[in-house]
Structure 1
Amino acid sequence: MKLKLLTWDVKDTLLRLRLPVGQQYHAEAKNRGLQVDPASLEASFHQAYRTQCRLFPNYGLTQGMTSHQWWLDVVTQTFYLSGVQDDRSVQPLAEKLYQDFCTAHNWEVLPGAREALEGCRNIGLKMAVISNFDRRLEEILRQCNLDKHFEFVLTSESAGIAKPHLGIFHKALRLAKVSPHQAAHVGDDYVNDYKAARLAGMHSYLIRAMRGTKLQEQGVPDEHVIQSPEQIIPRLAVDSFNTICAEE
């Protein structure tokens, strides 16, 4: 059966941060008279983020949190771990950073992403987003001029379910009104994107700069690995005739 829907992950698939988090936090802190080492902020951010994800998965939605508060807590804890423990300084800084990460100022489109989306649209594919992102994603995509390509944007916050839970893929399929074998997903994470989509019955492709031994051990065929977004066009052209149409 012919492919009807292509869903995309966003972070590190279509968009990436312009600068590492530690550098962006450092710059904003410096603007407010706070001197904090960017390397320390980078390490502290990853520690705070991992802890927050473990204690309050998917933005703490089932525990009564909002994604806004979830991120403010991450930023506050990041600065706390880096030695800045003055709430009067950190709270407005955290709010400013939350707003900044909603803009194209902090995000850039990956090379080949615009060409990939234009190409998919030109061949008549319906496209959508499935992302473990919060409610800011639609505005970020709009500011980066990518929103026009998508039928809908399904975030883990709006769905109430995060990848790799199969429910978020099933919800996207229901919204698009297509069967799993009529859809494919593209992302950069083996578990959240490639494996989960296949378990949901979809086709999937993994974006990786190099294939690597680990992917071989995980059984990801060469033809399911692409090095950049625009490589999806020739890959779909091949698979549409060899794999997908063979299922009709």
Structure 2
Amino acid sequence: MLIRAVLFDLDNTLTHRDQSIWAYSHYLAAYYQPLLFEADPQQIKCIVNRIDNGGYPDIQLLTHPSIGASVAYALLQELSWHEQPDFEELTQFWFRHFGSHAVAMTGALELLRHLKQAQYKLAIVSNGSHATRLNILQGLGFSHFFDAIISSESAGVSKPKPEIFLYASERLGLEPEECLFIGDHPINDVQGALGAGMQAVLLDGFHADKEHAVNTKRIQKLDQLWKYLSSDYGRTDDIE
């Protein structure tokens, strides 16, 4: 069936999570420099990365219900402060500023422009809080491209369960078979979308190869997706 919509994961698909954390860490170090004995962005980044784990936090490392609060707690415990900010202030700092420091994946803007000009319907389907999804998209300047922005919080169900993908196709007014999903996670994104009847492509390089089936369609960079869609209904050497 002809593809009429392209649905995206967010972290490590349209935004590079590690580069975004690096940008956020620099900003936090500069902002709180007057309160720190040493404002080291690399130390901050290591703390955030340990807890965030590429957007897939280990529940055992979360001291609080959210990544933002857990990061705030760790920063208060591990950085050398001569005057500590309030825990709630540092928690809200994450929610206010992480999205505005999101770094786009290479080729993301160009791909979205091509897809919009070609009249594909576009959607985000991403696990996490809805406000954080919106903040990241606003920080990237991508919000206006999308016909639907769906978080696990707003849908009441998380990837890889098929219900969130089916909800997305319903929001777009399309059959699942008319939707192509792209994401970085072989289970949450690819297997989840395929299980809902969608087509799916893995953006390779963020998770171990052993996690997904050998016959999974894969690309190494986003511009290959446009070549894939521009080919004879997806048959091209640019996709494995």
TM-score, length-normalised on structure 1? 0.76
Q: In structure 1, the residue corresponding to 2:180 is in which secondary structure?
A: strand
Where in structure 2 are the equivalents of 1:15-54 lying within 5 Å? 15-16=15-16, 17-20=19-22, 22-35=25-38, 37-49=40-52, 54=59
Measured in 1, the distance between the counterparts of 2:57 and 2:20 equals 23
Shift, 1:47, TM fit? 4.4
Measured in 2, the distance between the counterparts of 1:216 and 1:91 equals 40
Measured in 2, the distance between the counterparts of 1:108 and 1:217 equals 26
Shift, 1:217, TM fit? 7.5
The aligned amino acid for 2:15 is L
- Deviation digits for residues 149-202 of structure 1 (CA, Å, limit 9, x no counterpart): 110100122112222222211211111121221111011111211121111111
The 3 A distance-change label for structure 1 pair 127 and 52 is: closer
The 3 A distance-change label for structure 1 pair 111 and 28 is: same
Say whether the 8 Å CA contact 1:29–1:35 is kept in structure 2: no
1:100 aligns with 2:64: no
Structure 2: unaligned runs, 5 residues or longer: none
1:215 aligns with 2:209: yes
Residue of structure 1 equivalent to 2:151: 155
Measured in 1, the distance between the counterparts of 2:226 and 2:176 equals 20
Shift, 1:14, TM fit? 1.1
The 3 A distance-change label for structure 1 pair 40 and 216 is: closer
Residue of structure 1 equivalent to 2:233: 240
| Identity across the alignment (%) | 21
Which residue among 221, 234, 238 is the counterpart of 1:228?
221
Q: In structure 1, the residue corresponding to 2:201 is in which secondary structure?
A: strand
Residue of structure 2 equivalent to 1:136: 132
Residue of structure 2 equivalent to 1:127: 122
The 3 A distance-change label for structure 1 pair 172 and 93 is: same
The 3 A distance-change label for structure 1 pair 18 and 241 is: closer
Aligned length: 228
Measured in 2, the distance between the counterparts of 1:142 and 1:22 equals 19
The 3 A distance-change label for structure 1 pair 169 and 239 is: farther
Bigger fraction of residues in helix: 1
Which residue among 87, 104, 112 is the counterpart of 1:109?
104
Measured in 2, the distance between the counterparts of 1:29 and 1:240 equals 52
Which residue among 74, 79, 86 is the counterpart of 1:78?
74
Measured in 1, the distance between the counterparts of 2:180 and 2:12 equals 18
Once the two structures are overlaid, the 10-residue window that deviates more, 157-166 or 224-233, is 157-166
Q: What is the aligned-residue RMSD (CA, Å)?
A: 3.3
Structure 1: unaligned runs, 5 residues or longer: 61-69, 244-248
Shift, 1:80, TM fit? 4.3
Say whether the 8 Å CA contact 1:25–1:97 is kept in structure 2: no
TM-score, length-normalised on structure 2? 0.78
The 3 A distance-change label for structure 1 pair 230 and 120 is: same
Once the two structures are overlaid, the 10-residue window that deviates more, 89-98 or 176-185, is 89-98
More RCO (CA 8 Å, sep 6+): 1
1:2 aligns with 2:5: no
Measured in 2, the distance between the counterparts of 1:242 and 1:49 equals 37
